[in-house]
A and B are shown apart, each in its own frame.
Chain A
Amino acid sequence: MADDNTQSREDARTDGGVTTDSYLDKEINIFKPATPFMRDHLRVIWLSFAAWVVVVFGPTTAVLIESLWLETSVMTETTILGGFPLHFFLAAIVTPLGALVLSVGYAMQRDRLDTRYGISHEDGGAGGTDPDADTDADSDSDTVAADGGAK
């Protein structure tokens, strides 16, 4: 199937150990990942998304919860770093920083996933319009045909 095809490509971009499956035949649905790669990728996506929701909406929601039900005011009365109310500091500085840290985390994790699936983008970037690009396009098309045939 597609595995053979992928591994038989002469350039060093996909250097073995890869199971990309016949990805052009598998349905794309965010709730039903159909290939191992999609499953792994979506796990990273959903976990970091959950963390992001807490970072972004958590502080303001905590303020609301405190004022409505808890009758405390830890978020608004606590002061840090010489006078910031906690909620103000979280929203103004920490939340953007949190999103940045999560982004770095995601991009690194995604690179790790690339390594695990033997994907390299490095020489793809230098290609431009050289003959190499044509070779790639051809081998991709072959993959398509082979996948279609194997259905």
Chain B
Amino acid sequence: MIELLEPFVLQETALDVGEFKLVPALTVAAMLALFLGVGYFFRVAAVDDLWVAGRSIGAVENGMAIGANWMSAASYLGVASIIALSGYFGLAYVVGWTTGYFILLIFLAAQFRRFGKYTAPDFVGDRFYSDWARGIAAFTTLAIAFTYAIGQASGMGLMAQYIFGISYEMGVIVLMGVTIGYVALSGMLGTTKNMAIQYVILIIAFTIGLYAVGWSQGWSTVLPYFEFGSEVAAAAEIEAQFVEPFADGSYYAWIALAFSLIVGTCGLPHVLVRFYTVENERTARWSTVWGLFFICLLYWGTATYAAWGGLLYDSEVTGGGGFADMLPIEADALVVLTAQLAELPTWLVGLVAAGAVAAALATTAGLFISASSAAAHDIYTNLYKENATQREQMLVGRVTILGIGILVTLIGLNPPALIGELVAMSFAIAGTVFFPVFFLGLWWENTTKEGALAGMLTGILLSFGAILNDTAIPMYTGVEDAVIPALATWLPGTSSALVGVPVVFGVIIVVSIVTDNPPQHVKRLVRQCHSPEPMSQTESAEDAANGGAPADD
């Protein structure tokens, strides 16, 4: 049944948002206190600790951190939402957001570890021996963190509505405020420890909710992931598009989306930093495997939630009127809504909601760290003030976190798309701008500075242009359609990488061929990233390839 609404709730929603719920609120409060406590206990003062945690993290712990860093409100809430609304098309999100880790593993993870610097812009700046390249990479890092975090703010607002009974807007402001304070206080060592804890909390909350719904409705027993077949069939009876392959998006749209999410996985700065924090390259590889396993544990459940949530919405909310017309804010809360509609006890529904808060918070923390290091380390120190003290860098980093946090909060008050779609846009940017320079930078030593610059600028043009075309400009001009509808079909803001990546690869290769080869020390750097020789924990490829006694050429 649709709940009666309190006056301050703006939109009608099936989610029970009317009242303050004590036990769920205490759960969230305890969780936040735990995070802040751990962050305080492992607090840091040195730059090396702030950004790469002293390069000391092991495989399973880093795998969990990868999982928590990775699984934001978009995974926790957004994927089930899109599957419920778009059926088989939504499964492109499941495929794209899991299988990309394999590409990262075989082509990039260990090489990044051997490269051994601090940030994504560091890699680009050093590999392409150019401060301009570093600056463009830092700008892109900030743009990605910003777009990505808007989706998280949206998820936090929805969860705060349920838990605290406050309005969506208040929820965004309060929980984003907590996130900003938390990141500024703790830094990366605290966050890495926290991320393992956050992973455990979010996976337990998500999974307990899943099992409890399955048991209470008599739908599943021990492995719900294999047991929701009859509910998928039932959901397909109600809404045929749920399983119809190309009802909500063509074959092209499906492939373009999956591809964009895959290359986006390989181009995300805050994912890359996770490989800089581990002991050695073997740990980098195995932590990727562990990370993928921990991620799959959640993703296998997303379609389950979508089918079950759809059925419950149909029977409890619309009384047989289907579920494809649910509001965006209901869809984005579907995981929690499913638990509520299955009439699970409030504390349990609250736990599921708290898990979503943990997911949003963990990812936002990782994003803000990468944004702050891009601003402090890559822009301020490397481009503006060479001899900046650590104290200055920390200050710039924290001001950046504050600035981005406020901007994200403002946009998050009225988000332009579903959580999953917002995050997909940041993946399209990462995939189009960063993946080609990472890949070619590591696998083709003759990739030049000019090639990388031309490629990144092309990538920015394509990916930002696509988002402006079908989301940003329509949103702020109040027009429904994309500015150029034909362009939106072939170059959607969420999936621009299928066209963008080959184009950017082409630009980089052609420009690299016609420009002068990179200097010898850069080639040695690339070779060092692939060499089978083990490296010590704190050594970077630069030290190993060119440091110490200079080679005789």
Which A residues are closer than 8 A to B by beta carbons? 6, 13-14, 18, 20, 23-30, 37-38, 41, 44-45, 48-49, 52, 55-57, 60-61, 63-64, 67, 75-76, 79-85, 87-89, 91-93, 95-100, 102-104, 106-107, 110-111, 114, 117, 119-121, 124-125, 127-129, 132-133, 136-138, 140-145, 147-149, 151
Min CB–CB distance B537 → chain A (angstroms): 5
Asked if A144 and B443 sit within 8 Å, CB to CB, the answer is: no
Asked if A103 and B292 sit within 8 Å, CB to CB, the answer is: yes
Known contacts A97-B296, A144-B551; is-contact A121 B282 (Cβ 8 Å): yes
Where chain B touches its partner, the secondary structure class is helix
Min CB–CB distance B244 → chain A (angstroms): 8
Asked if A24 and B537 sit within 8 Å, CB to CB, the answer is: no
Scan residues 223-246 of chain B and give those whose CB is less than 8 A from a CB of chain A.
225-234, 236, 243-246
Known contacts A27-B445, A82-B227; is-contact A76 B243 (Cβ 8 Å): yes
Whether a CB of chain A sits under 8 angstroms from the CB of B392 is: no
Asked if B446 and A104 sit within 8 Å, CB to CB, the answer is: no
Whether a CB of chain A sits under 8 angstroms from the CB of B103 is: yes
Known contacts A99-B101, A100-B293, A148-B553; is-contact A24 B527 (Cβ 8 Å): yes
User: Which residue of B107, B234, B280, B531 contacts A20 across the interface (Cβ within 8 Å)?
Assistant: B531
Asked if A141 and B548 sit within 8 Å, CB to CB, the answer is: yes
Min CB–CB distance A93 → chain B (angstroms): 6
Min CB–CB distance B236 → chain A (angstroms): 7
> Which chain B residues lie closer than 8 Å to A26 at the CB level?
527
Name the CB-closest residue of A to B250.
A64
User: Which residue of B92, B228, B293, B544 contacts A137 across the interface (Cβ within 8 Å)?
Assistant: B544
User: In the assembly, what is the distance between CA of A52 and CA of B96, in Å?
Assistant: 12
Q: Quick one: which of B99, B283, B538 has the most chain A CB within 10 A?
A: B99
Known contacts A121-B281, A141-B549; is-contact A20 B532 (Cβ 8 Å): yes
> Which chain B residues lie closer than 8 Å to A85 at the CB level?
232-233, 236, 243
Min CB–CB distance A95 → chain B (angstroms): 5
User: Which residue of B88, B106, B230, B299 contacts A83 across the interface (Cβ within 8 Å)?
Assistant: B230
Min CB–CB distance B64 → chain A (angstroms): 16
User: In the assembly, what is the distance between CA of A27 and CA of B527, in Å?
Assistant: 7
> Which chain A residues lie closer than 8 Å to B103 at the CB level?
49, 52
Whether a CB of chain A sits under 8 angstroms from the CB of B503 is: no
Asked if B533 and A121 sit within 8 Å, CB to CB, the answer is: no
Q: Quick one: which of A37, A98, A110 has the most chain B CB within 10 A?
A: A110
Which B residues are closer than 8 A to A by beta carbons? 56, 88, 91-92, 94-95, 98-99, 101-103, 105-107, 110, 225-234, 236, 243-246, 251, 254-255, 258, 262, 279-283, 285-286, 288-289, 292-293, 296, 299-300, 302-303, 442-446, 523-524, 526-539, 543-553
Min CB–CB distance A138 → chain B (angstroms): 6
Asked if B553 and A137 sit within 8 Å, CB to CB, the answer is: no
> Which chain B residues lie closer than 8 Å to A133 at the CB level?
536-539
Min CB–CB distance A84 → chain B (angstroms): 4
User: In the assembly, what is the distance between CA of A93 and CA of B95, in Å?
Assistant: 9
User: Which residue of A6, A41, A92 contacts B303 across the interface (Cβ within 8 Å)?
Assistant: A92
User: Which residue of B289, B529, B552 contacts A107 across the interface (Cβ within 8 Å)?
Assistant: B289
> Which chain A residues lie closer than 8 Å to B543 at the CB level?
137
Known contacts A28-B445, A140-B533; is-contact A125 B279 (Cβ 8 Å): yes
> Which chain B residues lie closer than 8 Å to A14 at the CB level?
533-534
User: Which residue of A27, A38, A79 contacts B229 across the interface (Cβ within 8 Å)?
Assistant: A79
Asked if B98 and A99 sit within 8 Å, CB to CB, the answer is: yes
Asked if B232 and A23 sit within 8 Å, CB to CB, the answer is: no
Can you give 18 A-B contacts (C-beta < 8 A)? A13-B534, A23-B533, A45-B106, A67-B245, A79-B229, A79-B233, A81-B226, A83-B230, A84-B232, A87-B245, A88-B91, A96-B95, A96-B299, A97-B296, A107-B105, A124-B279, A124-B534, A140-B544
Where chain A touches its partner, the secondary structure class is helix
Name the CB-closest residue of B to A141.
B548
Name the CB-closest residue of B to A26.
B527
> Which chain B residues lie closer than 8 Å to A93 at the CB level?
225-226, 300, 303
> Which chain B residues lie closer than 8 Å to A64 at the CB level?
245-246, 251
Asked if B245 and A63 sit within 8 Å, CB to CB, the answer is: yes
User: In the assembly, what is the distance between CA of A80 and CA of B442, in Å?
Assistant: 43
User: In the assembly, what is the distance between CA of A57 and CA of B234, in Å?
Assistant: 27
Known contacts A60-B245, A121-B280, A125-B279; is-contact A23 B226 (Cβ 8 Å): no
User: In the assembly, what is the distance between CA of A63 and CA of B507, in Å?
Assistant: 33
Asked if A23 and B94 sit within 8 Å, CB to CB, the answer is: no
User: In the assembly, what is the distance between CA of A64 and CA of B546, in Å?
Assistant: 52
> Which chain A residues lie closer than 8 Å to B529 at the CB level?
28
Asked if A136 and B102 sit within 8 Å, CB to CB, the answer is: no
User: In the assembly, what is the distance between CA of A88 and CA of B527, in Å?
Assistant: 43
> Which chain A residues lie closer than 8 Å to B244 at the CB level?
76
> Which chain A residues lie closer than 8 Å to B225 at the CB level?
93
Name the CB-closest residue of B to A99.
B99
Known contacts A23-B527, A28-B443, A133-B539; is-contact A89 B549 (Cβ 8 Å): no
Name the CB-closest residue of B to A13.
B534
Known contacts A56-B258, A144-B549; is-contact A82 B229 (Cβ 8 Å): yes
Name the CB-closest residue of A to B111.
A28
User: In the assembly, what is the distance between CA of A97 and CA of B520, in Å?
Assistant: 42
Known contacts A91-B88, A129-B538, A133-B536; is-contact A145 B549 (Cβ 8 Å): yes
Known contacts A80-B229, A88-B91, A103-B288; is-contact A30 B443 (Cβ 8 Å): yes
User: In the assembly, what is the distance between CA of A73 and CA of B215, in Å?
Assistant: 33
Name the CB-closest residue of B to A18.
B532
Min CB–CB distance B38 → chain A (angstroms): 22
Asked if A138 and B532 sit within 8 Å, CB to CB, the answer is: no
> Which chain B residues lie closer than 8 Å to A107 at the CB level?
105, 285-286, 288-289
Known contacts A20-B531, A106-B105; is-contact A136 B443 (Cβ 8 Å): no
Asked if A91 and B548 sit within 8 Å, CB to CB, the answer is: no
User: In the assembly, what is the distance between CA of A100 and CA of B102, in Å?
Assistant: 8
